[in-house]
């Protein structure tokens, strides 16, 4: 119903005829797109038709203008969302996987070490090693302990471990932040797309309801007109004949009914 092939019809924007492009009636353009087209191409309604390519373009440009109106300048992110909508692509992505693929060997090793350093396994192992170290050097098993009281070598070892651990943890935290940032950008894009798609659906739905309501009203008006007109004589005699034949068909049934029936039909 939307596509009408009428001779000499052409698109009101690019001027292509029905042979070069699929044309749609301007009545089917939703109000927000029509408003955008009124601003951008004031004479687009003259031909009463628009091609599907131009309508598609207008749809995304109208969307861009809506976002621009609501929050000023469009960011690169907003543009990428609109582009993905126009290409009908899925936008959500698994940030964890993408990020893990980009990590170098050193970065991955730092993450592993930082992960181990923040675990109970590390604390228990460390306590065990310390106690063993102290015990070996205190118990008079060795005649010459390698680190006698007050364990200066142990102190040196501990400060070396602490010195390496701090930058490792900081590196790991920095990467975690970068990952969080990517995740929040992805969330923002997905949310914006969902919001725009829902709005798009609402408009489409409202527009179709309105169109349907108009059509129903038209049909009802036509029916009312038909009912108010007097029947032509030929039709009237046909109705009479039909009634007579119906009455004839009913009469044998009536005689077959039992006499006690108070209301024979």
Q: Please report, as ranges, the residues that interact with Zn ion according to CB under 5 A.
A: 11, 13-14, 51, 54
In the complex, the smallest distance separating the C-beta of residue 49 from Zn ion, rounded to whole angstroms, is: 9
What is the closest distance, in whole angstroms, from the C-beta atom of residue 54 to Zn ion in the complex? 4
Which of 10/82 has CB closer to Zn ion? 10
Least Å distance, CB 14 to Zn ion, is 3
Q: Which is nearer to Zn ion, 12 or 78 (CB)?
A: 12
Residue number, 7 or 256, with CB nearest to Zn ion: 7
Q: Which is nearer to Zn ion, 17 or 145 (CB)?
A: 17
Residue 34 CB, nearest approach to Zn ion (Å): 15
Q: How far is CA 170 from CA 77, 99, 121, 166, 174, in A?
A: 29, 18, 21, 6, 6
Distance of CA 117 to the CA centre of its chain: 41
Cβ 52 to Zn ion, closest distance in Å? 8
* Closer residue to Zn ion in complex, CB, 11/37: 11
Query: CA angle, 21 as apex, 15 and 26 as ends, to 5°?
Result: 65
DSSP per-residue codes, 90-125? -----HHHHHHHH--HHHHHHHHHHHHHTSHHHHHH
Tokens of 28: 């089917």
Residue closer to Zn ion by CB (options 9, 84) is 9
Is the four-CA dihedral 132, 137, 143, 147 of positive or negative sign? Answer: positive
3-state secondary structure of 253: helix
Name the minimum Å distance from CB 57 to Zn ion. Answer: 9
Smallest gap from Cβ 21 to Zn ion, in A, equals: 6
List phi, psi (to 5°) of 127.
Answer: -60, -40
Kindly compute the dihedral angle of the four CA atoms of residues 223, 229, 232, 235, in this order, to the nearest 10 degrees.
Answer: 30
Nearer to Zn ion, 86 or 137 (CB): 86
Spell out the alpha helix ranges (H) of the chain: 31-40, 52-71, 76-86, 95-102, 105-117, 120-138, 152-228, 233-256
Locate 57 and state its tokens. Answer: 């373009």
* Per-residue tokens: 246: 């119906």
């Amino acid at each position: 119903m939307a596509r009408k092939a009428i001779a000499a019809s052409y698109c009101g924007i690019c001027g292509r005829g029905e042979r070069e492009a699929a044309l749609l009636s301007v009545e089917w353009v939703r109000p927000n797109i029509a408003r955008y087209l009124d601003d951008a191409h004031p004479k687009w309604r003259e031909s009463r038709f628009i091609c599907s390519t131009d309508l598609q373009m207008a749809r995304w440009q109208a969307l861009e203008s809506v976002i621009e109106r609501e929050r000023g300048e469009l960011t690169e992110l907003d543009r990428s969302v609109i582009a993905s909508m126009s290409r009908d692509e899925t936008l959500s992505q698994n940030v964890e996987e993408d990020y893990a693929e980009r990590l170098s060997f050193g970065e991955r090793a730092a993450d592993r070490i930082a992960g181990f350093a923040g675990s109970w396994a590390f604390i228990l192992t460390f306590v065990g090693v310390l106690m063993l170290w102290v015990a070996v050097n205190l118990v008079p098993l060795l005649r010459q302990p390698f680190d006698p009281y007050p364990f200066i070598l142990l102190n040196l070892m501990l400060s070396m471990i602490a010195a390496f651990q701090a930058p490792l943890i900081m590196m790991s935290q920095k990467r975690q932040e970068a990952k969080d940032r990517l995740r929040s950008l992805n969330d923002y894009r997905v949310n914006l797309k969902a919001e725009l798609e829902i709005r798009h659906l609402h408009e489409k739905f409202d527009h179709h309801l309105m169109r349907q309501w108009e059509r129903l009203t038209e049909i009802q008006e036509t029916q009312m007109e038909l009912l108010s007109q007097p029947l032509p004589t030929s039709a009237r005699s046909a109705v009479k004949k039909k009634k007579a034949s119906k009455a004839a068909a009913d009469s044998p049934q009536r005689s077959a009914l039992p006499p006690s029936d108070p209301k024979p039909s």
